[in-house]
Structure 1
Amino acid sequence: MKLLGNIGWFIFGGFISFFTWLILGVLWSITIVGLPIGRQCFKFSTMAAAPFGKDIEFGHGGVSFMFNVLWLVLGGFALVVEEVTMGAAFCLTIVGIPFGLQHFKQAKLALLPFGARIVRIGQ
């Protein structure tokens, strides 16, 4: 069932989230200073490609807080708006609610990517 959900997700809009994370990763990686942020973007682009069967654990720390603030100001806010908008659009239909919930999960990730890690559900 996870496989079917991930295939449907990618076809019906997940590719937009995937490419957004990927493009942000490339842009951040252009400079040496932005490499840690770019690395996070690449890591989370895999989550954006196939989110069903995965969950996100959020950690806390001083360094992650500083990077999250920098991220939000310099690019994360646009990604949060994109994910919330797509999530709301998908939740307008009953069939789209699971996809909308995945977009909301990714919006939280776009808000606080540092200190977060992806875990597989059921393992």
Structure 2
Amino acid sequence: MRTILNVIWLVLAGIWLAIGYVIAGIICCVLIVTIPFGIASFRIAAYALWPFGRTVVRDSDAGAMSTIGNVVWLVFAGWWLALGHVITAIPLFVSIIGIPLGVANIKMIPVSLLPLGARIVET
């Protein structure tokens, strides 16, 4: 069932969300200082391509630099990406088949807002 949902997700929403994360990652990797943001963005792009069967776990040992980085990310890129998730989730909720996809899209909003200190693990 996860594979079927992941294939439907990839066609309806995954490609577009992953492209958004890759663009954000490329922009972040242009400057040396923002490379950690770019790496986090590429990691979330892979999660946006195939989300079912994986989940986000917060790392309790992330530290203060992670918190500061998350605030910077939230201001410059996080809210744009979260807005993309909301805009993508709305049409998915219209059909019965799209409801689980819309729920998965909404579940990706916290990691799009605060990516540092988060790990994506298999369930």
For 2:95 and 2:5, how far apart are their aligned partners in 1? 16
5+ residue gaps, structure 2, are: none
* Matched positions, count: 121
- 1:51 equivalent in structure 2: 51
1:76 maps to 2:78: yes
Look up the equivalent residue of 1:19 and give its one-letter code.
I
5+ residue gaps, structure 1, are: none
Which one is further off, 94-103 or 54-63? 54-63
Look up the equivalent residue of 2:57 and give its one-letter code.
E
SS at match of 1:65: helix
| Greater relative contact order structure (CA < 8 Å, 6+ sep) | 2
Look up the equivalent residue of 1:76 and give its one-letter code.
G
- What's the Cα RMSD here? 1.1
1:114 maps to 2:116: yes
For 1:24 and 1:56, how far apart are their aligned partners in 2? 19
The structure 1 segments of at least 4 consecutive aligned residues displaced by more than 4 Å after TM superposition are: none
Look up the equivalent residue of 2:72 and give its one-letter code.
L
For 2:122 and 2:2, how far apart are their aligned partners in 1? 11
Alignment TM-score, normalising by the size of structure 2: 0.92
1:97 maps to 2:99: yes
SS at match of 2:55: strand
What is the CA-CA distance between 1:83 and the residue it aligns to?
A: 0.4
- 1:31 equivalent in structure 2: 31
Alignment TM-score, normalising by the size of structure 1: 0.92
SS at match of 1:57: strand
- Between the aligned residues of both structures, percent identity stands at 32
For 2:112 and 2:46, how far apart are their aligned partners in 1? 13
For 1:107 and 1:84, how far apart are their aligned partners in 2? 8
SS at match of 1:118: strand
